[in-house]
Structure 1
């Protein structure tokens, strides 16, 4: 499964239109645990069509109808790169919201590989892809940057350095720590957003993957950290978030309590997430930038 460099930097998908409605927006919010208390009017605004708000990290699933099933390609004359999906890890995720998101909308989506870094035959490769949403005027509304670790595909001859550096975590005590309790059926709900990998619901499949039980989607944990930042630092002002990024460290099991530690410096909120019961960090080097 070779990676061909620099051909891989021309690999991507053609632009395709998509749309989403309030149902998808609300389902995402419920999937990351919002709306459990219908009397909490601040969270109700993310799960009720009357004055509906959009969680910024919902952009990771709202284009799911075109993200899944779209085949990448390269221009004629270039070699198409592949990698071992069984050894692929979702390493980092960043979303940039250039314009506040409507509760329903129509956009055009495209995806492009923008970086491939060779860490060596024994260490694998780092692959960066960038997805963009374009609005009706042709302006970029959303940018998603995904970093994947292809553990079995190093040694292809690309550059070793140049991948984005993680945001440093402050050394002082957190300005705030917030506990988010996940539901035992959190993954069952979240998978309805589109990611139906059996790793998240099938116990036998999870055991084959080396886990005692099904694990929570990494992007669900990602959304939970955004929820924590909105709740703890922004009084649920979702439109003030310009970007949200994390480095994935370890999986969460549905039913666990995720503790999100946060540090605010002006328009930057650094954060990390951990599971106290297992003395384990699940998110590192998190950063939310505000408008």
Structure 2
């Protein structure tokens, strides 16, 4: 059915309680490749409950919050009903208000924050705010969902980049370029052929990441790694190599998903420093530097 923007934006926020424990955190870290270098004592901060830290990107799967999608299931929200095969995760941002606890029960509130008309597609912006049960904020996450074939709801001709059909909101300009100087640091992170199989156990059971037939129906020649897995792997690399392994120093982190990664390929993350602000770009070296993450920034340092 067509997207009903008024219904989507006017709906009451959805609220629920979530909880997680140490094994959930350990599984998440393992799904990002933590422990691959098992003789490295530094990896124990991600893989051993003694002195366990929590990567900030765990917020996106905490308490099973990742979408539990099965074959053929649509994306259903107030005013929005889109076939799963038309959906791509386009971008993700997170702002940390406090370090994420190893074990916790929290209250989560989610809503549709924006709907942008790209002509041939729609971008659905979802916002999620999480606080502990005493009301102290923990994080705010914003997801951009690209829905193919769902644009044009504002009327008028098909839109170009940054231009909505019929005068509707097309969202912000998406132009981006890496800094015009060599990166300050380049980090390579491997993935395994089992990476997507592990990552989906965090709650995102979208068959796009495991079922070859489903991937083919979506126009891909094989299942791909979750975009949020690439996002988390790059975050871990920065925490390990730039922040001395201190996950609490990440204050915010945002990226656009610019291309796919196949399990077994590696992620090369280029980092440019500008004080507390880092600019990141991730690519796949096995495919001549094909882009994986762009528009990526991270603010670091004690808040």
TM-score by length of 2: 0.86
| Residue number in structure 1 paired with 2:242 | 233
| Structure 2 residue 57 is the aligned partner of structure 1 residue 60 | no
The CA RMSD over aligned residues, in Å, is 2.1
Shifted more, 220-229 versus 207-216: the winner is: 207-216
Pair 1:95–1:104, CA change in 2 (3 A): same
Pair 1:110–1:188, CA change in 2 (3 A): same
Per the alignment, in what secondary structure is the counterpart of residue 236 of structure 1?
coil
4+ runs of 1 displaced by more than 3 Å? Answer: 65-69, 71-74, 161-168
| Cα distance per residue 1:220-265 (max 9 Å; x no partner) | 1110110111122111110000111110011111111211111111
- 1:16 touches 1:66 (CA, 8 Å); kept in 2? no
| Residue number in structure 1 paired with 2:179 | 170
Q: Distance in 1 between matches of 2:94 and 2:7?
A: 26
- Aligned with 1:181 (options 190, 213, 217): 190
Number of aligned pairs? 283
Pair 1:9–1:168, CA change in 2 (3 A): farther
Which runs of 5 or more structure 2 residues have no equivalent in the other structure?
Answer: 70-74, 155-166
- 1:176 touches 1:232 (CA, 8 Å); kept in 2? no
| Residue number in structure 2 paired with 1:261 | 270
- 1:126 touches 1:149 (CA, 8 Å); kept in 2? yes
Q: Distance in 2 between matches of 1:248 and 1:65?
A: 20
| Residue number in structure 1 paired with 2:253 | 244
| Residue number in structure 1 paired with 2:114 | 115
State the shift of 1:65 in Å. Answer: 5.3
Pairs within 5 Å for 1:2-81 = 2-11=2-11, 13-64=13-64, 68=68, 80-81=79-80
- 1:124 touches 1:152 (CA, 8 Å); kept in 2? yes
Q: Distance in 2 between matches of 1:53 and 1:164?
A: 36
Per the alignment, in what secondary structure is the counterpart of residue 284 of structure 1?
strand
| Structure 2 residue 297 is the aligned partner of structure 1 residue 287 | yes
| Cα distance per residue 1:158-204 (max 9 Å; x no partner) | 73344375775312111111111111111111111111222222233
Shifted more, 125-134 versus 37-46: the winner is: 37-46
| Structure 2 residue 132 is the aligned partner of structure 1 residue 135 | yes
Shifted more, 155-164 versus 263-272: the winner is: 155-164
Q: Distance in 2 between matches of 1:226 and 1:43?
A: 14
Per the alignment, in what secondary structure is the counterpart of residue 47 of structure 2?
coil
Shifted more, 57-66 versus 246-255: the winner is: 57-66
Q: Distance in 2 between matches of 1:41 and 1:9?
A: 48
Per the alignment, in what secondary structure is the counterpart of residue 6 of structure 1?
helix
Q: Distance in 1 between matches of 2:270 and 2:246?
A: 19
Pair 1:66–1:268, CA change in 2 (3 A): closer
- 1:13 touches 1:72 (CA, 8 Å); kept in 2? no
| Structure 2 residue 259 is the aligned partner of structure 1 residue 220 | no
Pair 1:244–1:12, CA change in 2 (3 A): farther
- 1:66 touches 1:109 (CA, 8 Å); kept in 2? no
| Residue number in structure 2 paired with 1:77 | none
State the shift of 1:4 in Å. Answer: 1.6
Q: Distance in 2 between matches of 1:12 and 1:68?
A: 22
Pair 1:166–1:107, CA change in 2 (3 A): farther
| Residue number in structure 1 paired with 2:163 | none
Q: Distance in 2 between matches of 1:242 and 1:164?
A: 24
| Structure 2 residue 147 is the aligned partner of structure 1 residue 150 | yes
Q: Distance in 2 between matches of 1:281 and 1:72?
A: 30
